[in-house]
Amino acid sequence: MSPIPKFLLTFFAICACCGQSSAAPASAQGFGAAGKPHPGGASNAGPARTSPNFVVIFIDDMGYGDIEPFGSKINKTPNLSRMAAEGRTMTSFYVASPVCTPSRAALMTGCYPQRVGLEKGSGHIVLFPGDHHGLHPDEITIAETLKTAGYATGCFGKWHLGDQPQFLPTSQGFDTYFGIPYSNDMWPGLKRFQCPDLPVVRDTKVVDIVKDMDDQATLCRRFTEAAANFIREHKEQPFFVYLPHAFVHGPRQASPEFMAEGKTVEQAQVEEVDWSVGEMLNTIREEGLAENTLVLFTSDNGPAGGLSAGPLRGRKGSGYEGGHREPTVVWWPGAIPAGSTCDELATAMDLHPTFAKMAGKPMPTDRVIDGLDIAPLLLGKADAKTPHDRFFYQQGGKLAAVRSGNWKLFMNGELYNLKRDLAEKNNIAASNPEVVSKLQTMLDEFQADIAENSRPVGLADNPRTLAPRPGIEGDEGYLPTLSLPQNK
């Protein structure tokens, strides 16, 4: 058995001093903690620290059934299989929205997207190039919290929380950024809209343009290499790496070696994502950081076309399980029990408060935070249970359903027991009126709470795109996409 990392000894001591409670202060709790609305193998050891490094690998549009640890018989994902064998699969891990922008807002802030004004974009379900909406600069992100604890913070990949200067990662707590500011289909090839060229941004400057599908195919590798280099450069201090891949969002093309091996482009992209995971874990091992680094792999929402939700009903954009429940693997040798599984409900919103506590930093108490500490679940603590007694689903930018225990009630009155009916095939509302009534009250309470305790979306004056539309000169080339007529 691996020795207990020094950080864990400190973490357990903190928990003991705090009476084992991981809930947020009552004045800042969202729904979940008490069932009521708030009132207000490792390699050589690296540098000894009292807090771990964090790496979050966030895939775009990957489904619950797309990787081998979650049952895929099509895609070969040996690195994720090894990660699961050395770590822990989270089989009831949820994102707060089934589409890009709201899901990412929830991950960064620890809040339901409605609470921060990003349940949808300004004129579409997600943000578009030059959108005047974005993540409000007053919101506190995971990166900002960890920076106060001395962490180096880097974001490498698709951001999609606003492309105006005050919304970009370097204005939201990240020391550095390399990636694309929104979805990879928001380029001139998206025929319905008049999109600009797709920019590659370093910090706040456009340094390249994704010109064609061959360029699209390089994005996974480029983001992976940038993230790995960041780890090497900052191995002597704690770091937070956020790697939100553009893969496997369409349009799709993978690197030539993966295209040659895959029977479909979807398989090729999933397998290149698996390569990326291997590169990240190998970098951590080679630098002697494995026993001091927590890595979490998941997806931003359910599968788009050509990908698989496995046993789940629904896909990207859906309030059913397939839209929100994600294939999630967490790895930390010596801290997380190898080859273990957790089926307790956990969410991407929980990562902010969980990482904050592990880093020894409090969450803000001047605002509502919906996420809760899930360290006992991640670390495999005996008899650990979810801190949530309810979880809310979205569809079309609106509240769609609530889960409490094994029960799930939709706004339209459908009721399912997820333990007995994971595929949500049998609506049993008629035979369970008391359950319907109880969960309907939760839905009503959530709507009332959001109405009273939401915060404004970020607004930018005179927004413009980061790159121009091809062939359009002057300021006109930088007009926001949604301000222009749609193509017929």
Instruction: Name the catalytic one among 38, 136, 160, 352.
Output: 160
User: Which letter does DSSP use for residue 149 in this model?
Assistant: T
* Nearest to 250, CA basis, from 264, 236, 234: 264
Instruction: Name the catalytic one among 100, 111, 195, 342.
Output: 100
Angle (deg, nearest 10), helices 265-286 and 219-233: 10
Residues sharing a CB contact under 8 Å with residue 464, sequence separation 6 or more, in sequence order: 130, 475, 478, 479, 480
Is 100 assigned a catalytic role?
yes
Which residue is listed with tokens 């929830």?
106
* Nearest to 216, CA basis, from 243, 186, 174, 176: 186
N-terminal to C-terminal alpha carbon distance within the chain: 63
CA distances from residue 276 to 279, 337, 373 in whole angstroms, order as listed: 5, 23, 28
* Nearest to 243, CA basis, from 273, 217, 218: 273
Is 18 assigned a catalytic role?
no
Distance CA 423, CA 310 (A): 10
CA distances from residue 213 to 189, 202, 234, 400 in whole angstroms, order as listed: 10, 21, 33, 36
CB 76 within 8 A of CB 60: no
Number of neighbours of residue 284 by Cβ within 10 angstroms: 26
**Alpha-carbon dihedral of residues 46, 351, 325, 61, nearest 10 degrees?**
-70
Distance CA 63, CA 350 (A): 20
User: Which letter does DSSP use for residue 338 in this model?
Assistant: T
Active site residues: 100, 160
